[in-house]
Amino acid sequence: MPAPRRLVVEADGGSRGNPGPAGYGAVVLDPLDTATLAEAAEYIGVATNNVAEYRGLIAGLKAVRDLFPDTPVQVRVRMDSKLVVEQMSGRWKIKHPDMKPLAEEAARILPASSVTYEWIPRAENKHADRLANEAMDAGGRGEQWDPGASTADMETTRTRVLHEQQPPSGPPGDAAAGAARVRAALAAARPATAAPQADSADAPQVGWGSAPDLGAPATFVLLRHGETALTPEKRFSGSGGSDPELSATGRQQAARAAEAFAARGTVQEIVSSPLRRCRETAEAVAGRLGLEVRIEDGLRETDFGAWEGLTFAEVRERHGADLTAWLASPDVAPTGGGESFAEVAERVSAARDRLIALHAGRTALLVTHVTPIKTLVRLALGAPPESLFRMELSPASVSTVAYYADGNPSLRLLNDTSHLR
């Protein structure tokens, strides 16, 4: 029996909105000379990042099967999606119902013994990333990806040559330096992540060109819960560990927020995360305003897995490689089966849509956590995932986002703590 043909598949997927207009890219490479043997890309309509990434994997594996239908192969799949790599390697459970049939389809294409999976930083996955962005750009024009017009192979070759000319920075194993390099590369590698431009007749108008009367928006006043005992120590405190109560300081902060909202008289509804620190904060405001508190599970904090209760320094010491990967990609979950920021964004955006429908034209107070608030702000601004690391949210701070009937959100306030002074 002949030796198997060794191949590399690099795959990626993206969604401009998550969920939003989505596409995937995949490339089959000869590992000896990195020659491109096949490329695939497709605009797939509205989908999440994870769905698009799985579709990219499936396309890459099918391309191998079509190239070598009668030849044994040994395929190394390289992806920057920690979720897909860990799930297809069998180390993580597949929790989301949309992912299961995609994973099963991918597993059926080639024998399991002939495929291995490797996570790589996004900066090393530029060929597939560019193909995915070309597909999304084509979708924005109402077209499908044209392989004849693709420049992904050319641009990736040029980038690889330039990269090889520059020595790495930072000492080996330096998690902070590694994360900084990956973030810089990510920023340089994704220039086309803005939403595709619609025809001017169909595009919602904003700013000075906005319609004169869009009606009252659904306005979400976003209140971060007050302090707990873990807050001053800056420990990871999500939804997967203990459920701490407010500290004495946190209760004072909640009381001051309640007084401020009573003075303003604008809040008409109150919605809270199910976690105790949020419910206690929300109940303090509700008692002052005479309103009921409705619980929305989608507003809970990220599940930080094995990092719950640890400081950043402790996580870096115990789980350094996982922390570096987490800082580099929104698809990477904390150690021990926590939630990735991509998964959090998916459930927060679903909760947002439900709440917009329920509170159209009204002002609702949403009492929640750091990650959900930052995610709502990020999505409102159309900012990239790494912007989550560039926002500061103090305990009991207030931010505000309004959602208009034309689909345009407006960030009105961020991290206001004037009511606490």
Q: Could you tell me which of 10, 36, 87 has the C-alpha nearest to residue 332? A: 87
159 touches 123 (CB < 8 A): no
Q: Which two tokens stand for residue 45?
A: 């309509």
The closest alpha carbon to 155, from 190, 183, 182, 126, belongs to 126
Instruction: Name 78's bridge partners.
Output: 10, 118
Locate 207 and state its tokens.
């700013």
Catalytic residue set: 225, 301
Q: What is the 3-state secondary structure (H, E, C) of 331-386?
A: CCCCCCCCCCHHHHHHHHHHHHHHHHHHCCCCEEEEEECHHHHHHHHHHHHCCCHH
Identify each DSSP E strand in 186-244 by its residue range.
218-224
Of 421, 344, 351, residue with least CA distance to 385: 344
Q: Residue for token digits 């991918």?
A: 106
Question: What order do you get walking across the sheet with 269-272 strand by strand?
Answer: 293-295, 269-272, 363-368, 218-224, 398-403, 409-416
